[in-house]
Structure 1
Amino acid sequence: MDALVAELKQKLIDILNLTDLTPEDIDENAQLVGGELGIDSIDVLEMVVMIEKDYGVVINSQEIGEQVFATLNSLAFYIEANSAAPSP
């Protein structure tokens, strides 16, 4: 799962244009939405699209989304648990 967390950190930097950050700057246990990264609802939509496209995992309700996007670790766990593809 560490490889997935590292991959997600880089994808977040890329899709959310967090050019002043490196993957090492992102704490996988910190609050993801509304936390230090400044991720808002529009960013979450971009992340949902990326997760569905890249991992084939659908997040289809706000309740699930709130749990999944709590931290980077919770996101990685959800992807790993719901992905049809084997993890790297």
Structure 2
Amino acid sequence: MPDQQKKEKKIDVIAIQSKVWLNTEELIEYTGLSRSEIHRLRIKGTNCAGTIPYAKIGGKVRFRRTEVDKWMEKHTVREAI
């Protein structure tokens, strides 16, 4: 990847981290999850933490970044040493 593209991607991530609400594309970038995985987690969720929190505003799905962070924290695996 050329240096310019790397810089643009880094700027996007920084911009995403400052946003309150994320769309699906931004959530993909923020979490590294695929579109299909986000859709599955939104509809079906997981056994331990339920569905990924979202809002539907004007027919568009939005994710509050801080709520996604909390939801992901519930999935953090802490291995015994």
TM-score (norm 2): 0.37
Higher normalized strand content (fraction of residues): 2
TM-score by length of 1: 0.35
Q: Which has the larger radius of gyration?
A: 2
Structure (1/2) with the larger helix percentage = 1
